[in-house]
Amino acid sequence: MLGSVQHHEMLIQVISDAASIPASVVASLVYGETGRYRHFDIPKSSGGTRRISTPIPSLHAIQRYIYKSVIFDLPVHDSAKGYRPKTSIIDYVRPHLGAKSFIKVDIKDCFPSISTNSVFKCLMRNGFSRKNSFIISRLCTQYNGLPQGAPHFATSLQFDTLQLRL
């Protein structure tokens, strides 16, 4: 598991081998900021647009590996239903059936508001070393936020961060 790798170079090599991406490319994705995502806007049903940032293929492969090896195994609060395998909107709504009222909240810029530091702290709280938390958080975020368009990281990281804020 990635949590047991203690050195930057070792973790970069582990990711490189697992994702079949040269270690130099993995390192440039960790330490660089530009060119890692493609951006486009989609219309929101409420008006305006939502910025979507999709990772370039090499970063996408790395993120898929990190998701399967790290994020998927992180504990998820029972109230978090989004982005979980084999769950649907029904699973979210079911506990609220019969309630007198229901409040729907849309958190403005939710994904980008989850900072690289928040991802780092979430990983640290879950037993990862500082070095590995740094590398993984850099590979999961862009411009100090979780990009909308790479949501497979959202469940654990998003709810963990929101829970701390609330």
pLDDT for position 3: 47
pLDDT for position 25: 92
Beta-bridge partner residues of 40: 52
pLDDT for position 164: 47
DSSP secondary structure letters along the chain: -GGG--SHHHHHHHHHHHHT--HHHHHHHHH--TTSEEEEEEE-TTSSEEEEEEEPHHHHHHHHHHHHHTGGGS---TT--TT-TT--HHHHHGGGTT-S-------TTHHHHS-HHHHHHHHHHTT--HHHHHHHHHHH-BTTBPPTT-GGGHHHHHHHHHHHH-
Give me 146's structure tokens.
């979780």
State how far the Cα of 29 lies from the Cα of 44, in Å rounded to an integer: 30
pLDDT for position 4: 45
pLDDT for position 5: 45
Which amino acid, residue 160?
D
pLDDT for position 7: 47
10-residue stretch averages of pLDDT, the chain, 166 residues long: 52 89 91 84 86 87 85 69 69 80 71 80 86 90 78 53 47
pLDDT for position 165: 47
Q: For residue 118, which of 101, 96, 140, 98 has the smallest C-alpha distance?
A: 140
Q: For residue 81, which of 72, 91, 73, 71 has the smallest C-alpha distance?
A: 91
Residues 14, 5: contact at Cβ < 8 Å? yes
Residues 156, 71: contact at Cβ < 8 Å? yes
pLDDT for position 67: 82
pLDDT for position 22: 93
Q: For residue 54, which of 33, 37, 36, 40 has the smallest C-alpha distance?
A: 37
